[in-house]
Amino acid sequence: MRIATWNVNSIRARTERVGWWLDEHQPDVIAVQETRCTPAQVPGALFADRGYQVVAHGVGSRGGVALASRVGLVDVTLGIPGAVHPLDLPVSISATCGDLRIHTAYAPNGRKVGTEPHRVKLAWFALFAAWMTIDGVTDRPTVVAGDLNIAPTDLDVWDPARYRKRNLTSRPERDAFAALLETGLVDVVRAHHGDTRLSSWWNRRGDFYESDRGWRLDHILTDPTTAKRVRTAVIDRRERGVARSSDHAPCYIDIDPAEAGVSSAR
């Protein structure tokens, strides 16, 4: 089972690249962030022609998420149940795909430490973590995949000292990320790459990609039992270097089948 996540920075501008990538990498489920369109504007044939069901959430030209699956797509929840302004953001989708509970999110960017958008970002993380607990992340095979807009450690920033107190890398954001993990989730991409520096996003401006000045903002987390079944975890940085592609690289994991007779419930 292959689960992918990709911030495409406009699904309409990226239809050709996403189609190529789906054909090449054949994910069973793909979580998409920054669709930058309404659910009705998501190009349906992109997914339907390849056998995927798709559900989307978002309000228009900014943000927006989608979840596409060819192994089933049921029990869908858009956003976080019960969230109220300013935390009722259309930035997450939860659904059951085959035997996996999948959550995708495009976390608020936060813009700048100390601002109102940054406070909303931190509060949204607390609420999202609570939603993960309520939905039972440790009770069934679960994957959380998306652009969480946090570089969780110094290994996830090209120049940690330069950005230590800045948006994406600040202490409060890293605490928020750690609190999300404390609901019972494992950062399986980091777990598969040891202490190597990793990036999933490179600023389009200047030569950030060419000089490998990037940040790891896109994440795939699983419950501990599923984490043991993860065979590979890949950040497809090559795709970031292709003409007319997104500023984020696609990421995916391959999950081995559960052993017969071994329950994943704990």
Q: Which residues of this protein are in contact with DNA, per CB under 7 A? A: 9-10, 12-13, 36-37, 60-63, 108-109, 111, 117, 203-206, 244
- Closest contact distance (angstroms) between CB of 108 and DNA is 7
Compare residues 115 and 232 and give the one whose CB is closer to DNA. 115
- Closest contact distance (angstroms) between CB of 217 and DNA is 9
| CA 79 vs CA 9, 66, 92, 152, 170: distances in Å | 19, 11, 5, 23, 25
| CA 97 vs CA 53, 54, 103, 187, 232: distances in Å | 10, 11, 10, 20, 20
Compare residues 193 and 213 and give the one whose CB is closer to DNA. 213
DSSP character at residue 178: H
- Closest contact distance (angstroms) between CB of 114 and DNA is 13
Compare residues 85 and 244 and give the one whose CB is closer to DNA. 244
Compare residues 177 and 227 and give the one whose CB is closer to DNA. 177
Q: Are 144 and 103 in contact (CB under 8 A)?
A: yes
For residue 29 the two structure tokens come to 């489920």
How many residues would you count in the chain? Answer: 266
Q: Are 236 and 249 in contact (CB under 8 A)?
A: yes
- Closest contact distance (angstroms) between CB of 43 and DNA is 11
Helix (H) or strand (E) holding 127: helix 116-135
Compare residues 149 and 183 and give the one whose CB is closer to DNA. 149
| Angle between the N-to-C axes of helices 116-135 and 171-181, in degrees from 0 to 180, rounded to the nearest 10 | 10
- Closest contact distance (angstroms) between CB of 81 and DNA is 23
